[in-house]
Amino acid sequence: MPQPAALPDTPEPVAVDVLIEADGWAELPGAEAIAITAVRAALDALGADVPAPCEVSVTLTDDARIRVLNREWRSLDKPTNVLSFPLPDLPDDSDAPQPLGDIIVALETVRAEAAAEAKAAAHHLSHLVVHGTLHLMGYDHMNDDEAEEMEALERRILAGLGIDDPYALPQD
């Protein structure tokens, strides 16, 4: 009996590589899956604006490492919650997945911010990865109009993931 022809090896429309660089991330169950889901949700929300196939790298690190990166790239000698490093577009004639860039998230800052805002750390991680993904796609918050547009998009994406508005003020 003849065998069916093998299907061509087609890449995922969105490949997400997650590197867990700090041991403490094991205390947040499913951190890798949370990051992958958040990247894909953000890119899905942007639809036709996203090159396909594409890839994103997420590094889950600690405050010490992100502080070094923040100092080197932004001249701010302190840890931050998330950094994004967009990569330039490949030539249009390339069949390779378009690398969109790198997102780096700091564990201790995620935990501290989530606790201070009475949020689940997993939800805060999702928010930061969505935020970082939008930066890779050119969104920013340098002025009020940009901030409103980016925050509205974040709210919509996170709502689709079942996560409350990260910008809502706590209810007393």
Residue 137 within any structural domain of the chain: yes
Per-residue pLDDT tens digits for 10-65:
557 888 999 999 989 999 999 999 999 999 999 999 987 888 888 999 999 999 99
Residue 172 within any structural domain of the chain: no
Per-residue pLDDT tens digits for 98-149:
899 999 999 999 999 999 999 999 999 999 999 999 999 999 988 888 889 9
Residue 33 within any structural domain of the chain: yes
Residue 44 within any structural domain of the chain: yes
Domain total of the chain: 1
Cα(165)–Cα(172) distance, integer angstroms: 16
Per-residue pLDDT tens digits for 25-37:
999 999 999 999 9
Helix (H/G/I), strand (E/B), else coil: 171: coil
For residue 170, what pLDDT is reported? 65
pTM of the model: 0.89
Residue 4 within any structural domain of the chain: no
Mean pLDDT estimate for the chain:
89
The pair of structure tokens assigned to 110 is 């995620």
Banded model confidence at residue 8, pLDDT cuts 50, 70, 90: very low
Those residues whose C-beta lies under 8 Å from the C-beta of residue 137, and which sit 6 or more positions away, are: 42, 43, 46, 49, 50, 86, 100
For residue 6, what pLDDT is reported? 47
Q: What CATH number should be reported for the domain holding residue 40?
A: 3.40.390.30
Residue 54 within any structural domain of the chain: yes
Residue 5 within any structural domain of the chain: no
Cα(80)–Cα(75) distance, integer angstroms: 12
17, containing H or E segment = strand 14-20
Domain that holds residue 136: 14-160
Are 102 and 59 in contact, with CB atoms under 8 Å apart?
Answer: yes
Residue 22 within any structural domain of the chain: yes
Are 92 and 51 in contact, with CB atoms under 8 Å apart?
Answer: no
